[in-house]
Chain A
């Protein structure tokens, strides 16, 4: 092999099969992309807040204190949890944001994960099986898409009682077509690729072809859409809550906090600003992490991160 592309060989030599544990390798690759590392840390904090926040801060977040109504931020005399200010009923904003993380994450993650799993499963079926099933699924997606999602939500939540589970259900249904269409389009392209044909020639089952050969190729795309969708779902939830058919007080979510703070925007901007910032930072972190993941999941791109890890570490 004298004609071997030299850069390829060099790269191959650099990458011996050293027995590194999976987790350490992932952390090393995260460290190589500093932005993604910070994003991952931030998300970890959010997840911890969501899991443990309500356990410790529930009472404080619900306790009204009329003397601290719309208390401005960055003042420590009322205690640490008033560092971000107080809301219209004098409840500490920081504590409320931490407590609200749970509901927000549950609704957003629930809706995104549910719609991604259902949508991509249907998309795989529509893309890989025969024409009739595929057509039927696509028309179903058209029906959902042609229905204004807010209207659908209003109807469903009017019939069912507004609860977190129902909210997740509604949001998931309205987002399914996005994943369905993307998955189907990608499947139609990937199934024509040579390595899928090679697998057919080897006698691989449909199940194997779909999950071993097609899904890994389209997964990064789906994850990228999912992270973008995360923000959309958080905001959709807040607009439903605003209409009075989403989460109802005293339950709180970030979206609800933003919409409650909206009427005080001119006098007490911090009411809407801090929960809004939480939404933005979460979404941004997810985006950064997803672009890192797109590289990390792709074997032809992964060396970028591994080389960076070596340099830094």
Chain B
């Protein structure tokens, strides 16, 4: 019998060993780390780098470090790592600066109150948003100011020169962030305006502040300003820095928001207008919610930069977190070879905590608001 089939196998295919496991660490290593010769070389180099870099860092931060309970003599030993005992001993200074020790409950109350008000504001499902917002944005600043500076209700007066540390860093960044949002949005809207005077003023303001480095603004506020004003008028140094930082941040924010406004199709404006909505209604109900959603990453980027920029106020003699760390590194009671480095590592860690939290929150917010524009 003949068939059309050209080839018929007449023997069995020889048995092959069972395929390697489709999972497991070996396979993972193969596919991820040693897939090609280039990958293998890079992997080896990477491991060598880690072996070279990690142990000294580990030794410095944990292995050879002196933990609370240790003394300055322990820190002075040759080869000692980070002197955490010193951070522990001066911790209050890093948080409160020169705030009188017996009055620490006041900044503490502000911290707790702030956290209690801001957390529900950040959690979308928490109730009473409107009251909460009024409390946080209007009542909280007033209470905090009187609580911190005192001079009323029998609280001893604490001048702003004595505020310091993390307290001041948070005050400057919170005030900067919160005040720059409305200012920045108004400036961005103004820049898009058809009214020539408003438009020119906004453009001039934005371009002026963006053209000057923050450090110059702070220097100007703290050195030149007092010389222009009649002797005796004394604007608080912290207030000067706050105003400088806020105006500076608002100019940048305005440009970010403008980016969002430009990303909106013209139809959105026209649709709003055709519904008979006024400019402000159109802007606040249709344009801004969409525009701002677009630029959340940019806005948060600005805020993180602002938070870190607050450390620049140290050059005008305000004791923010970084400056207290710097000042304490001249503390002779804890003088040791690693004193300054330990302080800076601590400051970096504190800054990292806040910046990382902000960036995570914004990422989460972005996902939450991501309605219909997913790419």
Decide whether A and B are members of one complex. no
Question: What residues of chain B have their CB less than 8 Å away from a CB belonging to chain A?
Answer: none
